[in-house]
Amino acid sequence: MTARLHRPPGRTVAHLMLWCWALLLASGLQVAAAQAPGDTHHAEQVAQLATAGFGEKERIVDALLEARHPQTRMLLAAFLDGRLASRKSDGKVFITEDADDGVALVDPVDASAAGTAKSSALRKIGTNNRLRKKLKGAIALFDLDDADAGVRLAAVDEMLRELDATTVSALRTRLGVEDSARVRRALEVGLALADLSSPDAEVRLAAVGTLEGELGTAVYNRLKTLERDEPDARVRDAALSGLRHIDQWRRFYGGVETLFFGLSLGSVLVLAAIGLAITFGVMGVINMAHGELMMIGAYTAYVMQLLLPQHTTLAVLLAVPAAFLVSGLVGVGIERGIVRFLYGRPLETLLATFGLSLILQQAVRSIFSPLNRSVATPEFMSGSWQINEVFSLTWNRLYIVIFALLVFALLQLVLNKTSLGLKVRAVSQNREMARALGVRSARVDAMTFGLGAGVAGVAGVALSQLTNVGPNLGQSYIVDSFMVVVFGGVGNLWGTLIGGMSLGVVNKLLEPWSGAVMAKILVLVFLILFIQRRPRGLFPHKGRAAEGH
C-alpha cells in the first residue's frame, strides 16, 4: 500500500509538464480560434482586390471598414497612396515599399515582412477619383479616434467633404467624448451641416444658429443653397443673415490680404533699392549695373544650393553672407575700375555702368547658360500660415518682410554707429572738408560702393525665394529701385523704406481693378506728378547735405 501512495519523483514531474503543455496548447488553440475568423475574413477581402472592378473595390472597402481589422488602416492608406499590388504569379496582394534591391513586400493581414520582388513581377491595384474619395473618408473614420488632436481635426475636415449616415453617426459618437475645443467645434459644425438637411424646420433653424461665425466654403455653399431653396421664412432669413456676415468678413480679410501682398512687394522693392540708396543717394553715382549685382547675389544662392544639395536650409542661410561678400567685392571692383574716374560726370557714369550690366549678363549666360534656375525653398519658408478659413499668409513672403526690416536696421546701425558710417556721411556732405580732416575719401568711396553692392547681393538671395534666377533678374527691378529712391528722398534710408512700402501697397491696391501693367503705369504717372511738386522726394536732405542733391 505504501508503495502505491508514493509515486516516483520523475513520473510526477513528467505529468506536471504534460499538464502544462496541454494547458498552453489549449490556450493557444483558443486564441487561434478567436483570431483566425477575423484574419481569414480580412485575408479573403484583401485577396479579392486583385481582380475586382472599381465598384467591387468600393464594396470591399465598406466591408473592411465594418470589420475593423487591426491592419485595415495601414491597408487603406497604402491603397490610397498607390502602394497596393498583386503578385502576377499567384495573385497574392501585398503592400509595397521602395527598397534598394527591388520592391519590399509587406503582408496586409499581419503586417509582417514578406520578402522582396521585382517591380515587373507585380501588378498595381488601381484606383479612380471616386474610390480615392471613399478611401480618404474611410481613413478619416479611423483617425477620428487618434490620440493626436491635430489628426482628429484633419479627420473631421475630411469627413465634412461628404456627410452620410455613417460619418454623421461617427461624428455624434466622437462629440460625446471629445476633449479638444477645436475638434469639438469642428464636430459641431459637421453635425450642423448634416442637420441642415433635416425635415424639421426647428432643427434646421438651430443648425443655422450653430454655424454662426463660421467662414468656411462648405458652410457658405450650404447656406447659399438653403437661402435659395428653404421653404420656411425663418430659416431662410437666418441663412441670409449668415451669408451677409460671411461676405462682410471675407471683404475685410481680402483687404488685409491685399495689404499684406502690398507690404511683401514693398519689402522686395526696399531690398532692391536700399543698396542703390547708398550708391546713388549718398555717393551721387547712377549705377545701372545695380540690378546685375542683385543677380550675382541670386546666383550665389544657386551655387550654394549646388554645394549643399542635401541641406537646403543651411544653403540659404550661408548664401546671405556669401552673396554680401561676392557682390560687395564685385562692387569694389566696379568702383575702383570704372566709377572713380567718372565722379561728377553722371551721364558718362550711366553709360559706363549700363555697358557693364550687359557684360555681366552675358558672363552669367556663358557660365550658367541662358536658362532660368530655381533655388529650393527651405522647409520653414514653405507653405502658409492658415489663420482662419478665408485668410492665410505665405511663409516665404512673411519672412521676406521680416528680412527686409532686419537688413534696414543693420544698415542704419552701420551708417549711424560705426566709424565707416561717420566717414561716409562726412564725405557725402563735404568731400574737401573730409579730406582736410584726414579722411581717405578714395577708400571710403570704395567701401561705400562695396556696402551698397553687398546689400544688393543680399536682396538677390531674397528674390531667389520668390522667383526663378536668370540673367535678366536685375532688369526687372532697376527702374523700380530708382523710383523708390527718388520718391523717398535721395540719400535718405528712412525715405527708401517708407517709399518702397508705400509704392508696393499702392500697386497692389490698384491691381484688382486696373490690372498689373496699368497699375505700374499709374504709379509711374503719380510719381512724375509728385516729383514736379517735391523734386527732393518725401524726406529731402536739409542743410549742407542737400547742396549736392
Q: What is the pLDDT of residues 459-477, one digit of tens each?
A: 999 888 888 888 888 887 8
- Which residues does 319 contact at the CB level (< 8 Å), separation at least 6? 300, 301, 304, 305, 461, 464
Average pLDDT over residues 413-432: 77
pLDDT digits (tens, 9 = 90+) for 496-513: 888 889 888 888 888 888
pLDDT of residue 483: 85
Give the pLDDT of residue 325: 94
Calculate mean pLDDT across residues 490-494. Answer: 77
Instruction: Output the pLDDT for position 301.
Output: 92
Backbone dihedral region of 376: left (phi > 0), alpha (psi from -120 to 50 degrees) or beta?
A: beta
What is the tens place of the pLDDT at every residue in 11-31?
554 454 544 444 444 444 344
> Which pLDDT does position 542 carry in this prediction?
55
CA–CA distance, 395 with 385 (Å, rounded to integer): 6
| Residue 549 in this model has a pLDDT that exceeds 50 | no
Is the Cβ–Cβ distance between 475 and 370 less than 8 Å?
no
- Give per-residue pLDDT as tens, 66-125: 777 777 888 888 888 888 888 888 888 888 888 777 788 888 887 788 788 888 888 888
Per-residue exposure over 98-110, b if at least 16 CB sit within 10 Å of its own CB, e if not: eeeebbbbbbbbe
CA 160 to chain CA centroid, nearest Å: 24
Q: Which of 437 and 451 is assigned the larger pLDDT?
A: 451
Q: Is the pLDDT of residue 430 over 60?
A: yes
Residue 454 is placed in which grid cell?
553687398
pLDDT in tens, 323-336: 999 999 999 999 88
Q: At residue 117, what are phi and psi to the nearest 5 degrees?
A: -155, 160
pLDDT cut 70: percent of the chain above it: 90
**Is the per-residue pLDDT at 355 higher than 60?**
yes
Contacts of 338 (CB under 8 A, 6+ apart): 352, 353, 356
CA distance 190 to 177: 16
pLDDT > 50? residue 174: yes
Under the banding of pLDDT at 50, 70 and 90, the label for residue 38 is low
For residue 391, list its beta bridge partners.
Answer: 388
Q: Mean per-residue pLDDT for 315-319?
A: 91
Which tens digit of pLDDT belongs to each residue from 249-305? 988 988 898 899 889 888 888 888 888 888 776 677 788 888 899 999 999 999 999
The H-assigned helical ranges of 178-232 are 181-195, 201-210, 217-229
Q: What is the pLDDT of residue 544?
A: 45
